[in-house]
């Protein structure tokens, strides 16, 4: 059950967030789709469905069969600079997108 999963999403410390902020500007909806697909792959998905309406201005929806997240992680996932991938600057060197 996802209820028993420990929270893996953390809000990055300001020192880390400031190092990556300049490179994280979303310039177009395609960038959002790419990030969501990356998340699907990272979650171990084998089936992914993508819906885009009005070039992404009205709707971008990605549904997958990946691991998912716990209820505790859901609100954190929407916070700025929240991630399950890194927690300190030295963790940034191994991140691939």
7-16, 25-34, 65-74: the lowest-pLDDT one: 7-16
pLDDT of residue 6: 64
pLDDT of residue 80: 78
pLDDT of residue 1: 46
Domains of the chain: 2-92 (3.30.565.10)
- Encode 57-84: b = buried (16+ Cβ within 10 Å), e = exposed: eeebebebebeebbeebeebeeeeeebb
Tokens of 18: 């400031």
pTM for this one?
Answer: 0.62
């Amino acid at each position: 059950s996802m209820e028993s999963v420990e929270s893996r999403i953390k809000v990055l410390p300001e020192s880390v967030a400031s190092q990556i902020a300049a490179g994280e500007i979303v310039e177009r909806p395609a960038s959002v789709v790419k990030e969501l697909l990356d998340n699907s792959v990272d979650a171990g998905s084998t089936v992914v469905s993508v819906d885009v309406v009005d070039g992404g201005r009205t709707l971008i929806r990605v549904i997958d069969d990946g691991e998912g997240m716990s209820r505790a992680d859901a609100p954190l996932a929407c916070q700025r600079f929240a991630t399950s991938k890194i927690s300190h600057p030295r963790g940034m060197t191994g991140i691939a997108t």
